[in-house]
Amino acid sequence: MKRIYLGLLLMSASTFQSQKFPDMKAPVAEKQEHIREIHGDKVNDPYYWMIDYFKKGKDSTKVVNYLKAENTYWEGMMKDTEPFREKLFQEMKARIKEKDESVPVFKKGYYYYSRTETGKQYFKYCRKKGSLTAPEEILLDVDKMAEGHPYYAASGFSISPDNTKMIFGVDNISRRQYSLFLKDLTTGNIIDLGIKNTGGSAEWANDNKTIFYTENNPVTLLSEKIKKHILGTDPGKDATVYEEKDKTNYISVYKSKNEKFLLIYSGATTSSETRYLDADNPNGTFRVFQPRMKNVLYTVTPLEDKFLIKTNKDALNFKIVETPIDKTGVENWKDFIPHRNDVLMESVSVFKNFLVFGERQNGLSQLVVYDRKTGKKEFLKFDEPVYTVYSSGNPEYNTDNFRFGYTSMITPNSQYEQDLKTGKRILLKQQEVLGGYNKENYITERLFATAKDGTQIPVSIVYKKGFKKDGNHPLLLYAYGSYGSSTDATFNSNRLSLLDRGFAMAIAHIRGGQEMGRQWYEDGKMMKKKNTFTDFIDAGEYLVKEKYTSPKHLYAQGGSAGGLLMGAVINMSPNLWNGVISQVPFVDVVNTMLDTSIPLTTNEYDEWGNPNNKEAYFYMKSYSPYENIEKKSYPNLLVTTGLHDSQVQYFEPAKWVAKLRDMKTDKNVLLLKTDMEYGHGGASGRFDYLKDVALVYAFMFKLEGITK
């Protein structure tokens, strides 16, 4: 591993930083012996006791008191930034058009949209019948519904086929466990259906009285059953139409766009299975489309006369195959869009006369229009070097108008509509950035960093004109790099508060994502996971080499699995970063993956490995951030978590910070902020989350000596 810009340069940075923070005594966590022994390996985990709140709930006051002590510490250390943070909050909030409205989407005779009001944190979900000049019908006033709740999320707005009823889910704890409600759109009455622990949505059968929903395990949060509920009946007697026995699979239920079928999807990282049922016959039995096959993923899209299937069977980058309506087995599958080595097939949007494929080539997203009558294909073209384009807002099947979103690091989120017959394209709406934003004042580039094994790692970067590449300017490098999730270059108005103060911001498209195709993901998971971390380090070193920044001005940020990335890179290359922001970080990989009572554990064996396997155990242990803390210097760190986090439990970052405090030899600052009311996604309101962004920015600005 390279060790660059060590010694005097790093020492001077630490000395300078220590003068900026008050001399407060950090909390010291108690140690209790807890021995983990597996595969002949014995490890003492002195902070294991921090799991008690998760296991015992409110009875564990010691855990809560420790988290509160850490909160008191970070608040004291950042006390002098309070006025600046408030300024940043107001600055970012002022760019948001408070009174706004989404582009109306037409479905079955109604235009649906949401709108926000000045000073309100949430939104109103509305519709108009037949015409945009028709009277407005407020379906849900989420602003009013959220009153009195520190956290409130409403989701899964599902309208009955006859347009008279709506099902929606509510989570007011932030554990992603939703209760289902019914609103009668003729009377306005809202009824609690008594259905809890769901995924947050339901699908209607065509009889307007039967719904299907996903039921989650209340402890592990795993999606385990698909249930059927008939309105007006006792939910305690709801029939289970499917139960998933494989604890590595997620399940869901959805309705085809042409409304002919209800489909149940069961999938893990490497294989999947679909069941289907005629939506006109809700009391029928779901049939298996094709039994799950080892290392084969597939998703099903019904058309009038056949099924389209996106699959990776004999196709690393996925392809589209077709099969007759009455012959769904794999032996009947025929290529429709063949596999290509250089193109990742990601999605298909279906219309009566056209198909639109979402693809990815050379790291960039693209849309391809396919005429179902002629077979002609056309690529939608765009000019910027780095951008993101995606299908958006197309619920109507019988239309030739296709809507898509477009954005880049300098172009605000834009929604277009294209006539698929004529090719005529119109801009329906572009995100309005208040305060006079001009994209011509900013520059975006696409760079390639060379990894240690010779792989070219794409890097998207943005900065304000006038930014000098002399190594003296701050740069924030972000990445995620897991689950095959691609981190695309998009616009964020909050980022202007960084760019306008001299920062550059970059995204490293590292392995573990899927930006460069499916192999990009395969090369950054399981026993190749370390590629994710070394790619990020190599991207940082490249930006230093090219004088975009230097180690005393380089910052890194990642959240969740991206927080694992942050923990790994500060162990592997601690001297490359001046400051690191690790948000809701997955940093205790081995212990979490050994505990099947923790949400998501069994679902993720195909991502990280099962540590009950000796080889997987020792590989995980070799990179898990918590396991690899050493007595050495670490960069300045801001770590955030939520007490009710459903994805990465609070005790992972808490244990990690406690061990770092005990082991690190530097005087750099280490802060842990625990939100005692929220979970994985932070605050639910559209403005409250900006306070967390302001804290992250103020942390970096404080290290840079930027005070206004």
Q: Which residues are marked as active site?
A: 560, 645, 680
Can you name the residues that pair with 215 across neighbouring β-strands?
198, 225
**By the 8 A CB rule, do 563 and 528 touch?**
no
CB hemisphere CA count around 679 (13 angstroms): 17
Helix (H) or strand (E) holding 138: strand 137-141
- In this structure, what DSSP letter does residue 513 have? B
Beta strands 210-216 and 456-464, pairing class? unpaired
Cα distance between residue 693 and residue 12, in whole Å: 28
Cα distance between residue 341 and residue 519, in whole Å: 10
Best CA proximity match to 676, nearest among 8, 24, 27, 58: 58
SS (H, E, C) 33-98: CCEEEECCEEEECCCHHHHHHHHHHHHCHHHHHHHHHHHHHHHHHCHHHHHHHHHHHHHHHHCECC
Task: Please return the burial class of 28, using the count of CB atoms within 10 Å of its CB with bins 0-12, 13-18 and 19+.
Answer: exposed
Q: At what angle do helices 530-545 and 614-623 cross, to 10 degrees?
A: 30
**How are strands ordered across the β-sheet holding 401-407?**
388-391, 401-407, 414-419, 425-430
What is the dihedral sign for C-alpha 613, 252, 559, 464? Answer: positive
**By the 8 A CB rule, do 124 and 142 touch?**
yes
Best CA proximity match to 587, nearest among 605, 607, 566, 602: 566
Cα distance between residue 231 and residue 374, in whole Å: 45
Neighbours of 622 (CB within 10 A): 12
Can you name the residues that pair with 369 across neighbouring β-strands?
356, 378
Helix (H) or strand (E) holding 619: helix 614-623
Helix (H) or strand (E) holding 110: strand 110-116
Best CA proximity match to 654, nearest among 640, 668, 637: 640
Cα distance between residue 276 and residue 336, in whole Å: 21
Question: CB under 8 Å to 522, separation ≥6 — which residues?
Answer: 528
Helix (H) or strand (E) holding 250: strand 250-255
Best CA proximity match to 459, nearest among 473, 442, 476: 476
**By the 8 A CB rule, do 521 and 512 touch?**
yes
- In this structure, what DSSP letter does residue 608 have? H
Radius of gyration of the chain (CA): 26
Neighbours of 144 (CB within 10 A): 11
Can you name the residues that pair with 141 across neighbouring β-strands?
124
Cα distance between residue 319 and residue 338, in whole Å: 5
Cα distance between residue 77 and residue 67, in whole Å: 15
**By the 8 A CB rule, do 126 and 137 touch?**
yes
Cα distance between residue 58 and residue 479, in whole Å: 35
Beta strands 636-642 and 670-675, pairing class? parallel
